[in-house]
Amino acid sequence: MQVLFPIYLLLSVILILFSYNNMLRGKNVNYFLSVVMMFIYIAFVYNRPFNHPGDTETYLYIFNYISNNHSYASFRVEKGFLILLDVISEITHDNRSFLFIITIINSSLWFFCFRYWLGNKRLALAVLTFISLFCSYNLGANVLRQGLAIPLILIAIKLLDNRKFIFSFIFILISISFHQSSLILLFSYLISLLDIKVKGYIIFFFVLSLLSYLGVFQHISNVLSVSFSSYSHILSDNSFENYHVGFRVDFWLYTSLILVLYFLLNEDSKEKYSKLIKIYIINFSVFIVMFDIPYSDRVGVYCWSLYPFVLASFLGGYKYKIMNNELVYIFLISIMGSLSFLFYPVMNLGWNLDSII
């Protein structure tokens, strides 16, 4: 049995008890618990086996190559990530130390992003949601470049929304230097500024869902292989054999939860968070179109990474009093996290309880 799940349950219980005693309203307590949760996340993600399913071995290969040669011209990976690996290689050549440093950087970016978007008041709630999502462990391990790029582009979007254009531009450049696909979130924000009501986006979303269900997008892989030749390896026959493509009911239902919660908001909150939900729906729509290509979950992370921001923001804005209860909210998030641990073994990183005992 993996150690992370029992520790996660213990953290959830602690947050529920603190919420019951109204202690989470204190900024210092909220901040402290958030830091503790993030450090536990770091401890397990960096301690994953070197042969952990996914891209960990690939990242280690790139790191070791750069450490030995200080050259990365042969890699098709974005240069910002390669430069970061080169800098880390000046500090250490040890693989475990590399994973520790890169995980610290990754987690710090997310933590700062949560604080900038939400402040300290809802910080613990956002961090609890983050460590409850199966995609967060992918963002820290298998899709590490996206895990670095997404918080950077989200900070850039918030800066842009606050009309701090120069700083926003800097963060955009840094973000795409880690993974160019992070521009999906930026374009979603820009489209959300159009004078179209949320209802219009939802109708468009349901039309795309129907078309995906009917198999209209099944030939999209042919278009992508021509347009993005550098990613043609993802569209190989072997990828189609190993990954379930086509309309994904599981992904669709999981991602639709945010839309259900939006409809449960009161009218003032619906208006207040209309831009946020538009960004979410646009990303969800792109995700639906990508259902027919292998590894579409790597597009899904742009939706799922918004969960902490959306859930933390919605609290207090629901029509029904029980849903505005922080204790109930934390309990429901903990249930979601527990189910994620049970159904997504990729979350079970790091130390094994049997080996410790």
- Does this model's pTM top 0.75? My answer is yes
Assigned domain for 80 exists: yes
Task: Give the chain's residues under pLDDT 50.
Answer: 1, 225-229, 237, 351-357
Measured CA to CA, the distance from residue 173 to residue 171 in angstroms comes to: 5
**What single DSSP character describes residue 148?**
H
- How far apart are alpha carbons 229 and 124 in whole angstroms? 42
Same domain membership, residue 226 and residue 113: no
Q: Is residue 166 part of a domain?
A: no
Residues 206, 91, single domain; the answer is: no
Q: Is residue 148 part of a domain?
A: no
- Say if residue 122 is in the same domain as residue 207: no
- Dist CA 331 CA 74 (whole Å): 48
Number of domains the chain is built from? 2
On whether the CB atoms of residues 266 and 319 are closer than 8 A, the answer is yes
Say how many C-beta atoms besides its own lie within 10 A of residue 356's C-beta. Answer: 7
In a domain, 25, yes or no: yes
Same domain, 2 and 133: yes
Does residue 137 belong to any structural domain of this protein? yes
- Same-domain status, 310 and 198: yes
**Judgement on whether residues 94 and 204 belong to the same structural domain of the protein:** no
What was the pLDDT predicted at 226? Answer: 42
pLDDT at 347: 52
206 and 315 in a common domain: yes
Q: In Å, what is the CA distance from 132 to each residue of 32, 103, 105, 158, 277?
A: 18, 17, 20, 24, 21
DSSP lists the bridge partners of residue 2 as 352
pLDDT value of residue 351? 46
pLDDT of 238 = 53
Answer yes or no: is 92 within a domain.
yes
**Same-domain check for residues 121 and 255:** no
Tell me the residue range of the domain where 284 lies.
Answer: 194-319
Nearest to 208 by CA among 300, 294, 307, 287: 287
For residues 217 and 248, membership in a common domain is answered with yes
Cα Dmax for the chain: 61
Question: 357 and 315 share a domain?
Answer: no
The C-alpha atoms of residue 68 and residue 212 are separated, in whole angstroms, by 47
Residues 234 and 278 in one domain: yes
Judge if 112 and 211 occupy the same domain: no
Q: How far apart are CA 185 and CA 306, in angstroms?
A: 10
> Looking at the domain assignment, is residue 306 inside a domain?
yes
Res 357: pLDDT: 36
- Whether 126 maps to a domain, the answer reads yes
